[in-house]
């Protein structure tokens, strides 16, 4: 069966749009600061959604425990102070310098604490993408990283997000990419090696390359744009970062290192693609649509285009986490889901839709298991013995979490 037919079975990204419920504009309680570093200002339609989300979340808090004053505030990278940005980058390096906790027999290539996150993301990729688990799984994943940055490396703020809508005209204008070696994530990768030389570059002159997704009962080839870089990131704080897990999706079958768990030391590579960095889809208009009309418990529209804009290291679903900026990109997705939930916490907090595997395609180790729908009572595998129920990954102010996007 062709994968597109599976996608149809799975409902893909089109079905089950919830009706929009937009009340009269509430009084802003937690309004975001105006853009400090440029970009396209938040339009009124989005502001209404964000204000209602703030009102609902803050209104749900009691007088003790997590309160309006103590709730963690996740902010746009572009609105952070230089000191906070510097401290975030420092804390990422701190995790990169701590030994992995993952059992070496599971992933010999897991070297540092960041690899613990990449390992479980690879391991769960065919379950947590294009499935009902996408949003709750990644919400917990981000929260675990935030906790590690704070508790193991002394970072004092909270996880920032990269506000793609604000920079839809040119994503590289965000301060994520301002080039400052201490307070940004660096820049594009070096131009890729010429075609045909057998190096890390593409295997032909096309602008796309087909990569095989391992672990499914069918051969699923994902077309990936090659972009304008492809080589190592030569500037910024991660120019000397060594990656060892992955790559996973490859241009050829690789039975020896199927999931990239064996060590493959290499640099962090990026390949910005103007068709993704330059306003194609990550606009305010689409952010507004997502936050008001989000596919119920979305299986993940828009996720792909976010990692595609980084290219190279981050371009496939398995190990985009190797690029430290991944977490800021996914925080933006979590933010849009949060705002969608925040329009009606009662109805939407635990809304879920989607299959139990990537597009509902059976996994190769369980080929007889037919497509079935994810439920909030299903157990998720987060790594390091953490196996919460899906519903534990859904609220923003329960199960030990308490945060709001401002
Ligand atoms: Cu993911």
Alpha-carbon distance of 71 to 66, in angstroms, equals: 6
Ligand 1 center from residue 20 Cα (angstroms): 27
Ligand 1 center from residue 251 Cα (angstroms): 20
Ligand 1 center from residue 146 Cα (angstroms): 16
The tokens for 101 are: 């906790």
Cα–Cα distances in angstroms (integers) from residue 127 to residues 117, 131, 200, 214, in the given order: 15, 7, 29, 12
Ligand 1 center from residue 30 Cα (angstroms): 29
Ligand 1 center from residue 307 Cα (angstroms): 9
Ligand 1 center from residue 28 Cα (angstroms): 32
Question: pTM of the prediction?
Answer: 0.87
pLDDT of residue 347: 94
Handedness of CA 121, 126, 129, 135 (dihedral sign): negative
Ligand 1 center from residue 317 Cα (angstroms): 6
Ligand 1 center from residue 192 Cα (angstroms): 25
For 45-80, give the DSSP string: HHHHHHHHHHHHHHHT--SSSS-TTTSEEE-BGGGS
Residue 199 has pLDDT above 50, yes or no: no
pLDDT of residue 226: 80
Cα–Cα distances in angstroms (integers) from residue 281 to residues 112, 316, 325, in the given order: 34, 18, 19
Ligand 1 center from residue 247 Cα (angstroms): 14
Ligand 1 center from residue 308 Cα (angstroms): 12
pLDDT of residue 41: 93
pLDDT of residue 223: 85
Digit-coded pLDDT (tens) for 301-321: 444 446 666 666 777 789 999
For residues 222 and 210, the answer to whether their CB atoms sit within 8 Å is yes
Ligand 1 center from residue 352 Cα (angstroms): 17
Digit-coded pLDDT (tens) for 81-132: 999 999 999 999 999 999 999 999 999 999 999 999 999 999 999 999 999 9
Ligand 1 center from residue 27 Cα (angstroms): 35
Domains along the sequence of the chain with CATH: 3-14+40-185+272-311+323-405 (1.10.1280.10)
pLDDT of residue 364: 96
The proportion of the chain whose per-residue pLDDT surpasses 70, expressed as a percent, equals 82
Digit-coded pLDDT (tens) for 201-242: 444 456 788 999 999 999 999 888 888 888 899 999 999 999
Ligand 1 center from residue 23 Cα (angstroms): 33
Ligand 1 center from residue 330 Cα (angstroms): 8
209 against 362, higher pLDDT: 362
Which of 349, 342, 352 shows the shortest CA–CA distance to 299? 352
Digit-coded pLDDT (tens) for 12-48: 332 222 222 233 333 333 334 444 568 999 999 999 9
Ligand 1 center from residue 123 Cα (angstroms): 11
């Amino acid at each position: 069966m062709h994968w597109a037919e599976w996608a149809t079975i799975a409902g893909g990204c089109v079905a089950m749009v919830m009706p929009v419920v937009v009340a009269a504009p509430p009084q802003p309680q937690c309004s975001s600061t105006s853009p400090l570093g440029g970009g396209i200002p938040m339009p009124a339609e989005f502001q209404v959604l964000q204000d209602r989300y703030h009102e609902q979340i803050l209104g749900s808090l009691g007088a003790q425990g997590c309160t309006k004053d103590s709730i963690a505030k996740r902010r746009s990278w572009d609105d952070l102070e230089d000191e906070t940005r510097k401290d975030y980058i420092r804390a990422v390096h701190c995790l990169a310098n701590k030994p992995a906790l993952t059992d070496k027999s599971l992933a010999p290539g897991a070297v540092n604490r960041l690899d613990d996150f990449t390992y479980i993301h690879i391991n769960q990729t065919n379950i947590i993408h294009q499935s009902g688990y996408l949003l709750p799984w990644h919400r917990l994943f981000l929260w675990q990283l935030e906790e590690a940055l704070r508790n193991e490396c002394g970072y004092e703020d909270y996880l920032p997000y990269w506000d793609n809508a604000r920079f839809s005209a040119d994503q590289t204008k965000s301060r994520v990419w301002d080039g400052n070696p201490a307070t940004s994530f660096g820049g594009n990768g070096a131009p890729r090696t010429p075609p045909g030389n057998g190096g890390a570059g593409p295997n032909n002159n096309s602008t796309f390359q087909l990569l095989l997704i391992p672990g499914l009962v069918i051969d699923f080839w994902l077309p990936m744009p090659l972009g304008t870089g492809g080589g190592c990131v030569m500037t910024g704080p991660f120019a000397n970062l060594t990656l060892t897990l992955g790559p996973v999706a490859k241009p050829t079958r690789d039975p020896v290192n199927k999931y990239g768990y064996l060590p493959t030391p290499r640099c962090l590579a990026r390949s910005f693609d103007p068709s993704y960095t330059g306003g194609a889809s990550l606009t305010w208009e689409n952010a507004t649509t997502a936050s008001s009309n989000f596919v119920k418990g979305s299986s993940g529209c828009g996720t792909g285009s976010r990692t595609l804009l980084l290219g190279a290291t981050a371009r496939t679903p398995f190990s985009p986490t190797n690029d430290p900026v991944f977490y800021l990109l996914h925080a933006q997705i979590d933010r849009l889901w949060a705002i969608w939930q925040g329009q009606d916490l009662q109805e939407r907090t635990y809304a879920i839709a989607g299959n139990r595997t990537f597009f509902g395609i059976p996994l190769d180790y369980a080929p007889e298991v037919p497509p079935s729908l994810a439920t909030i009572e299903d157990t998720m595998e987060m790594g390091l013995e953490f196996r919460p129920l899906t519903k534990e990954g859904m609220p923003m102010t329960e199960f030990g979490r308490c945060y709001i996007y401002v």
